[in-house]
Chains A and B, each alone.
Chain A
Amino acid sequence: MKILTGNDLKSGAVVWWDGAGWSLHVNDAVDVGDDADTIAASEEAARRVNVPYAIEATRDDNGVRPAHIKDRVRALGPTVRPDLTLKPTQPEALDWIV
């Protein structure tokens, strides 16, 4: 599937398009199919997101997994600082990135 990501304009936080707005959690990301460019353009014009782009991802029972490691790092946080990731109490969650 194709999902849309970017950064919040004001805070810079990594965000994912959930069909109605922008979520901090990659698991909320929805398949945007052929609408990526349209959504990206209108959301960027409304300044709700900065430099949005579409990426390949897969969804299984564990959630949404971006195809490229860079977006998995973005989704969770720096692997060298588990305390600063979105799952600070689950250092084993970092295994998901690699």
Chain B
Amino acid sequence: MYKYDNYDQQMVDTRVEEFRDQAKRRLEGKITEDQFKPLRLMNGLYLQLHAYMLRVAIPYGTLNGAQMHALADIADKYDRGYGHFTTRQNIQYNWIKLEEAGDLLADLAKVEMHAIQTSGNCIRNISSDHFAGAARDELVDPRPYAELLRQWSSFHPEFMYLPRKFKIAVIAAETDRAAMRLHDIGIQIVKNDSGEIGASFYVGGGMGRTPMIAPQIRDFVPLDQLVTYAEACLRVYNRYGRRDNKYKARIKILVHEMGAEEYTRQVEEEFAHMLGQGVEPPLAEIERLRPYFADPAFVDGPKTCDHSDPDFALWVDRNTNAHKHDSYVSAVISLKPVGGIPGDATAEQMHLMADLAKEYSFDELRVMHTQNIVLPHVAISDLHALWTKLEAAGLGSPNLDTIEDIIACPGLDYCSLANARSIPLAQKISERFAASGKTGELGQLKLKISGCINACGHHHAGHIGILGVDKKGVENYQLSLGGSEAEDVALAKITGRGFDEAGVINAVETVTDVYLGAREDGERFLDTYRRIGMTPFKEALYD
């Protein structure tokens, strides 16, 4: 994985000093909260319901054991012994003190980490495929390109005060594991007819209150023009994105109102101009980055393992993914124990995951947008030993992509924007289905819960989505069906009137029963919904 050189280290170290200085000026009263807020947000520091919250960037979701150990130490030293992995592959801490934030950032910088641009109206952390560099189905490893974009977007002087936040995802497989088309810019690394590698650009996707799927605006950008093209996309947005209404300020609204064709025309015009401006890093830079992401020293070994223990066999079946080397798999550590808080991990669990990465996965881990952790390169012969240790630590839940693998935002338990709680709902739904024993029978079923319209819990993209709303001071939940964040991307539709907490849990069970009754061979919930439509579900829910 990528390793900072002196330049990168100097950038994060300088950033720590800059933030210390900004915080000091705030505490001394030299700047007001109105002036300080955008500055602290650009360094991931929010003021949430109970305290300051700090979001730490995990670029394209990749980290090593030392970094995971450091995240655990930070949880113990500055927080309350845990952290929360987010739907953009980051981690956030819920109980941070402003006066200690500078020291925390200095600790992060020691392990080549930071909180740069994890919030604010600027280009956010670049996300990617959590199986990058390991998946059998990828064209190339997308992370060198993500790293190139990370550097370009860090402290970009023109784009620090955009109309609104800006999220970029980069993938390099036909299977989309990064919700690529629900990003402001989604980039797919592709090969053209001449066999050259380049980038396909999708612009104007997003969730939030007006969910949209990004249209493709360019099918192939040569690799030595990647940054220039991104810069052109951003400049058109910075100049023309709406600033009169924060709810209409995302690029998806610009692309929608202007029309994808006109937006594309303007980008192409800007791009043609910028090609002469020397903004592109030299091609040698991509060549420099690539070896950092080279394969570790894989060793040929057994291609299967003993499946006689049914619990182990179930975990292997559900929580591992095909690897490009046939003696290895990528193993998913579920942070979704039945009744647990989705995405939360204690310092102790983080230390253990770091140790396991060192022992079994070439010292590498990944954060998934589904709030789980991946050990990307596990030898099949090590799987049983790994699973045994995970089981012992309560990290062996065999529930990847099942109805127990729920995405949930922090909701009203932590978030000042939330209208309703998300976590208790996730806990109760996972308990209900684990107790009923239907989890396995339901197969792949992605349930996603957001506590407000901002959709951090990706409810628009859930096979089943739940949105918490405030109904005259009482929590209420709207159910939606048919969304997907994957390559079969779709936006979910609301079933009808909302439910109270107990009601929506029953409603989830009702719609799964409709599916079980109507499905044909091999159909997932989503497939059945697409075939039979909303009506049978509505009838079961409301008639």
Contact = CB atoms under 8 A, between A and B. Distances in A.
Q: Is there any pair of Cβ atoms, one from A and one from B, under 8 angstroms apart in the complex?
A: yes
Interface of A: 7, 9-14, 44, 47, 50-51, 67-70, 73-74, 77-81, 84, 98
A47 B412 CA distance: 27
Interface stretch (B274-282, B318-326, B420-428, B532-540): B420-428
Contacts of B413: 73, 78-81
B49 A73 contact: yes
Contacts of A13: 50-51
Interface string B329-356: 0000000000001000000000000000
Interface SS of chain A: helix, strand, loop or mixed? loop
A12 B47 contact: yes
Given A7-B47, A44-B33, 7 more contacts: A9-B26, A11-B97, A12-B50, A12-B98, A73-B49, A79-B421, A80-B421
Interface string B50-62: 1110000000000
Contacts of B424: 79-80
B96 A70 contact: no
A74 B49 contact: yes
Contacts of A69: 412, 473-475
Contacts of A51: 33, 47
Task: With a 10 A CB-CB cut-off, give which of B49, B50, B51, B412 has the most chain A CB atoms.
Answer: B50
A50 B34 CA distance: 11
Interface of B: 26-27, 29, 33, 47, 49-52, 80, 94-99, 341, 412-414, 416, 418, 421, 423-424, 427, 473-475
A80 B426 CA distance: 11
Nearest to A85: B50
A7 B98 CA distance: 11
B153 to A, nearest CB: 28
A80 B341 contact: yes
A7 B80 CA distance: 18
A69 B420 CA distance: 9
Contact of B49 (A14, A44, A81): A14
Task: With a 10 A CB-CB cut-off, give which of A44, A74, A78, A98 has the most chain B CB atoms.
Answer: A78
Nearest to A6: B47
A9 B99 CA distance: 9
Interface SS of chain B: helix, strand, loop or mixed? mixed
24 contacts: A7-B51, A9-B26, A9-B27, A10-B27, A10-B98, A10-B99, A11-B99, A12-B95, A12-B97, A12-B98, A50-B47, A51-B33, A51-B47, A67-B473, A68-B473, A70-B416, A74-B50, A78-B413, A79-B413, A79-B421, A80-B413, A80-B424, A81-B341, A84-B80
A10 B97 contact: yes
Contact of A70 (B47, B49, B95, B423): B49
A-B CB proximity, top 4 nearest = A12-B51, A12-B52, A78-B413, A10-B99
Task: With a 10 A CB-CB cut-off, give which of B29, B80, B421 has the most chain A CB atoms.
Answer: B421
Contacts of B50: 12-14, 74, 77-78
A70 B52 contact: no
A77 B421 CA distance: 13
A63 to B, nearest CB: 19
Nearest to A79: B413
B475 to A, nearest CB: 7
A81 B413 CA distance: 9
Contacts of B97: 10-12
A82 B520 CA distance: 44
B538 to A, nearest CB: 29
Contacts of A73: 49, 412-413
A70 B412 contact: yes
A66 to B, nearest CB: 11
A44 B515 CA distance: 55
Nearest to A74: B49
A13 to B, nearest CB: 6
Nearest to B96: A12
A80 to B, nearest CB: 5
A78 B26 CA distance: 28
Nearest to A10: B99
Given A69-B412, A69-B473, A70-B412, A11 B49 contact: no
Contacts of A12: 47, 50-52, 95-98
A47 B51 contact: no
A98 B420 CA distance: 11
Nearest to B46: A12
A47 B23 CA distance: 13
Contact of A80 (B99, B427, B473, B474): B427
A47 B33 CA distance: 10
A50 B52 CA distance: 11
Contacts of B26: 9
A11 B52 CA distance: 8
A13 B473 CA distance: 24
Contacts of A7: 47, 51
A9 B97 CA distance: 9
A50 B473 CA distance: 25
Task: With a 10 A CB-CB cut-off, give which of B27, B98, B424 has the most chain A CB atoms.
Answer: B98
Nearest to A13: B51
Contacts of B473: 67-69
A44 B424 CA distance: 35
B391 to A, nearest CB: 24
Contacts of A47: 27, 29
Nearest to B420: A69
Task: With a 10 A CB-CB cut-off, give which of B412, B416, B474 has the most chain A CB atoms.
Answer: B412
Nearest to B340: A80
A47 B50 CA distance: 18
A10 B29 CA distance: 12
A70 to B, nearest CB: 6
